[in-house]
Amino acid sequence: MKKLLLASAIAGLSAGLTAPAMAAENDFEQYQAAVYERGGSGVSGNAVFIPENGEMTVKLTIENADGMSAGIHAGLCRYAEDSDGAPEMLAFDEDPLFELSAIDGTESSSTIELTTGALMGDAHSVAIHDGSTIVACGNIQ
C-alpha cells in the first residue's frame, strides 16, 4: 500500500512538471527578455518573442518609453557602451539588425522575418533608444 501511494505521489508531481508546449519549429512557443534601465533612465519592461512560420512577432511592454524607438541588436547589452575588447561574437552592434515599431504608451508590436534558430543561435539583445542613447537593454536568451 505504501509503495502504491508513493508511486501515485511521484506520478502526480511528474504531471505538474511537464515541458512547455512546442511550436511548429520544434522550439518553445515564446521567448522572453527582461529589459533593464540604463543610466538611471527609469525605462524598463519586457520583450516577448513569438515564432510562427519563419517570422517572429516581438511584443514589448516598456514603462516610461512612450514614443521611443526599439531594435534588435547583435551582441550583449554589457558591451553597448564599449565593445572594445569584447569577444567578437558578443560585441554589441550599435546599428540594429531589426528596427521595431516605436513604443506607443507602454507597448509595441512588430513582426519581422527572423527564425528561432537565427534569434537564439547568436548573442542578441533588444534595446530601447531615446534618440541615439540606449536607455534600456535586455539580452535575449
Q: With contact defined as beta carbons under 8 Å apart, do 74 and 123 qualify?
A: yes
What's this model's pTM, rounded to 2 decimal places? 0.78
Instruction: Return the domain boundaries, the chain.
Output: 21-140
* Whole-number Å distance between alpha carbons of 141 and 125: 9
Give the CB-side neighbour count of residue 139, counting CA atoms within 13 A.
13
- How would you write the pLDDT of the chain (141 residues) with one tens digit per residue? 444 333 433 333 333 322 233 334 444 578 899 999 999 999 999 999 999 888 999 999 999 999 999 999 999 999 998 888 889 999 999 999 999 999 999 999 999 998 888 888 899 999 999 999 999 999 997
Q: C-alpha cell of 22?
A: 512546442
Longest pairwise C-alpha distance within the chain: 69
Q: With contact defined as beta carbons under 8 Å apart, do 49 and 58 qualify?
A: yes
Q: With contact defined as beta carbons under 8 Å apart, do 48 and 72 qualify?
A: no
**What CATH number is given for 21-140 in this structure?**
2.60.40.200
